A and B are shown apart, each in its own frame.
Chain A
Amino acid sequence: MRKRMRICLVLSCLLLLSGCWSRRELNDLLVVLGMGIDWVDGQYLVSFQVVNPSEISSKTKGASRAPGTLYQGRGNTIFEAARSLTTQAPRLMYLGHLQLFVLSEEIARRGVASVIDSPLRDNEARMDYNVVIARGATAAEILDLYTPLERLPTYSMQQSLRTSERSWAPTVAVTMSDMINKLSDDGQQLVLTGIEIEGSRKQAGRPSNLTGFRPAASYNYRGIGAFKGDKLIGWLNEKESKGFTDLTDNLDSTSIELPCSPTGYTGIEVTSSVTRLMPRLRDGKPEFLVKIWAQGDVVENACSMVDFNRDATFVDLEKRSENIVRSNAEAAIRWAKRHETDVLGFGSALAKKHPAYWERARDDGNSSGFSQAAIVFDIDVVIRKTGTIGNSVKPKE
């Protein structure tokens, strides 16, 4: 009898396991992939792009409905805006799978610190999603777009950002955690890449966007937005952006174009690039040595007179590549100096190497002290291979 009682007691414990507080079942959630924040009439307009699970499953073939749904809510706080959506959406938003956080340019110019507080405080959102700025479009428009190949636009955008950072250069994939570090670290200003919509805005959010070979509208990353404090102050153009990614050692691979005749170019693929910022003090004044080691291959050549059988050709190509790398870097530095914002992290490098000097300079109100600092370049580009052929095809005279 006692034994039976005990078994009953143990079994009754199972009843407690049927669920717990704070459980969130998959079918109670709206999985948010993209979040956009606009500033409209003195309030936040928050757009959530949530995934339509049935539309992205491999079973359903017909693309009758959009892969996601865009919900929009307004409020003075982002939380208010998100909760006001319960009147339109069947479930609560779940931020655990957030991939892309889009800020409108206006928000970026007003200051981002207040906007990122909510996702930072939230316990569901992780810190690994990318943050971008909508350029020439609202954040909502960016999230309201049919993209080819990837059904989920935010996934497409995130992948594109990460790939282009690695293999083209003028973009930088900043995650939320990088952003926090850059916002609060000394001697380092925030940068975020801009995203814009090219083509017909009207078509962007319709399935007909994808009916042709060329989508009527598509997204495009353009330019790196530089901040001062938490406010956007301007955009780096493509050349400056390339210089920026090279100087900050984000660059892995990119392309360099060298003119070889009035109309033709030689194309170089940079296959690896390492950059070191080395601050030093000379007579009590900071000076920065920028060391860039890059390796590349010739991948294209439009001029038959370039002779790849001669060693001197390589030396020449290397020299000219170095000049281009250098002029990109100089352009980025000029931009930063002109706007007095240390996006390149010179101050942070100085603070790490010469903390005592940095402390003094900062106390003297000279925290953007890099603007007077001399910058010395030491750039070394090595070109090794020419692909599977040597000289280019020589057409008959």
Chain B
Amino acid sequence: MKPIGNGRISARQFKIMIVFSLIGDSILILPNLMGNISHQDAWLSQLAAIACGMALAWAYAALLGRLGRLSFVGAWTALLGRIAGSALGLVYAYGFYAMVLALLAEISLFMRAQMMRETPAEAIMLAFLIVIAAGLRYGIETFARTSELLYPIFIAMFLFLSLCLLPQIKADQLLPIAGAGMPQIAEGSFLSFAYGFLESAVLLMLTPYLEDDRKAARSAIFKGFLTGGLMLFLILLLCVLVLGPSMMELKHYPTFQLAQRIEIGRFLERLEALLTFLWIVTVFYKALLYSFSLQKTISEIARLQDDRILAMPLCLLMLAGGMISVPNIAAYNELIKAQFPYYDLILYLGGPLLLLLLLAIPAARRRLEARQPRAG
């Protein structure tokens, strides 16, 4: 498996990967989480989250401009020196690792709850990890190009899902608008902000591979955040309109229920297995990008010539970790409700903002520029 091309990704590929990682697992778990908090106002929460997300996009875009050819962790190392930078890098490596484990747990829980009851979790994780390992071995350009291939299919299926559900809409399920109360709506939008937007911070690890046109890359962040945010908004709105808040709160995977609801003329129905493609792709890309970032971080800390040798060992670690990380669904729900969003807040909001502030100091900026890797 030799890497294809020169290891560069275009602004368009960058945007698509941002969309995928933003939708990621949120498309599966957000409707239930937000249904439990902001009930029929989940869509309002999502609108608020998009507004915050655009502000975040601005911060990430600004940081992207400053980083140059350094990755996020690489920039910290350049600023703080080798020891402190590596220590911080390990913290992020752990964060990336935990994220991949959470995603693996999520997809295996979903598959086992909804589609393949008797299949062992290990088998599902292994199937997922084999593809991730292949992606890591082939290198970023390969999976970036793959994302470009998958994107039109993804969009087409998403539109198909949305359009086919139009006949099932019951508009009065939206009422009373803003009846859940502002604190609830804000709490819901925090979750969406954390799971969707903050967890797209992985894009900051891709900076060394971006093509030189930084302006296009910056606008890709805005476009990606807006597209992904609006797609999640549409899913949440459809969940409220079609399923109603009670069902959103009750069922673990309301999006899957949505797909089940499609019934047009007694022949276009039972499409849920097909539409599962949507979240398999997004969860896969999110997991792949996080695995890639983990590999990149470790190889930067260890100064490896070729980071791809880490692919196999990392995937084995993920397989082992995936099996022990989540003992049962209650522990998992506790994890995603009460713990993960705060990790996200510290790692993916605190970290980048701090770096952005530091880079406002001219001395820091000069230091970063001096340590840029030579082009080529």
Contact = CB atoms under 8 A, between A and B. Distances in A.
Interface stretch (A46-54, A122-130, A254-262, A313-321): A122-130
B7 interface: no
A181 B250 CA distance: 10
A352 B174 CA distance: 9
B246 A353 contact: no
B257 interface: yes
B123 A21 contact: yes
Given A352-B172, A352-B176, A184 B120 contact: no
A123 B175 contact: no
A180 interface: yes
B115 interface: yes
Given A127-B257, A352-B175, A355-B176, A21 B120 contact: yes
A20 B119 contact: yes
A22 interface: yes
A123 B260 CA distance: 12
B323 interface: no
Give the interface centre of B113, B115, B244, B257 by most chain A CB atoms within 10 Å: B244
Interface in B163-185: 172, 175-176, 179
Interface string B101-120: 00000000000011111111
B129 interface: no
Interface in A17-63: 20-22
Interface residues of B, number: 23
Interface in A316-352: 351-352
Nearest to B263: A128
Interface of B: 113-120, 123, 172, 175-176, 179, 243-244, 246-247, 249-250, 257, 260-261, 263
A300 interface: no
Contacts of A352: 172, 175-176, 179
Contacts of A20: 116, 119
A180 B247 contact: yes
Interface in A345-388: 351-353, 355
Contact of A123 (B115, B120, B179): B115
A198 interface: no
A80 interface: no
Contacts of A184: 246, 249-250
A180 B260 contact: no
Contacts of B117: 22, 123
A127 B172 contact: no
B120 A177 contact: no
Interface string A174-187: 00010011001100
A98 B150 CA distance: 35
A243 B162 CA distance: 35
Contacts of B247: 127, 177, 180-181
A181 B120 CA distance: 33
Interface of A: 20-22, 120, 123, 126-128, 177, 180-181, 184-185, 351-353, 355
27 contacts: A20-B116, A21-B116, A21-B118, A21-B119, A21-B120, A21-B123, A22-B115, A22-B118, A123-B113, A123-B114, A123-B115, A126-B260, A127-B247, A127-B261, A128-B260, A128-B261, A128-B263, A177-B247, A181-B246, A181-B247, A184-B250, A185-B244, A185-B246, A351-B176, A352-B176, A352-B179, A355-B176
Given A22-B117, A127-B247, A128-B261, 4 more contacts: A21-B116, A22-B116, A181-B247, A184-B250
Given A20-B119, A22-B118, A123-B117, A355 B179 contact: yes
A20 B172 CA distance: 43
Q: Which 9 A-B pairs have the closest CB atoms?
A: A352-B175, A22-B116, A21-B119, A355-B176, A355-B179, A184-B246, A22-B118, A22-B119, A181-B246
B243 A353 contact: no
Contacts of A22: 115-119
Contacts of B250: 120, 180, 184
Contact of A127 (B115, B123, B260): B260
Nearest to A123: B114
B323 to A, nearest CB: 16
A350 B192 CA distance: 30
A180 B246 contact: yes
Contacts of A120: 250
B250 to A, nearest CB: 6
Contacts of B179: 351-352, 355
Contacts of B176: 351-353, 355
Contacts of A180: 246-247, 250
Contact of B244 (A181, A353, A355): A181
Contacts of A21: 116, 118-120, 123
A319 B246 CA distance: 41
Contacts of B118: 21-22
Contacts of B172: 352
A353 B119 contact: no
Contacts of A127: 247, 257, 260-261
A227 to B, nearest CB: 15
Contacts of A177: 243, 247
A41 B119 CA distance: 37
A383 B177 CA distance: 38
Nearest to B243: A177
Nearest to B242: A177
A128 B261 CA distance: 8
A126 B172 CA distance: 24
Contacts of A351: 176, 179
Contacts of A353: 175-176
A128 B262 CA distance: 11
Contacts of B257: 127
A245 B115 CA distance: 37
A54 B119 CA distance: 31
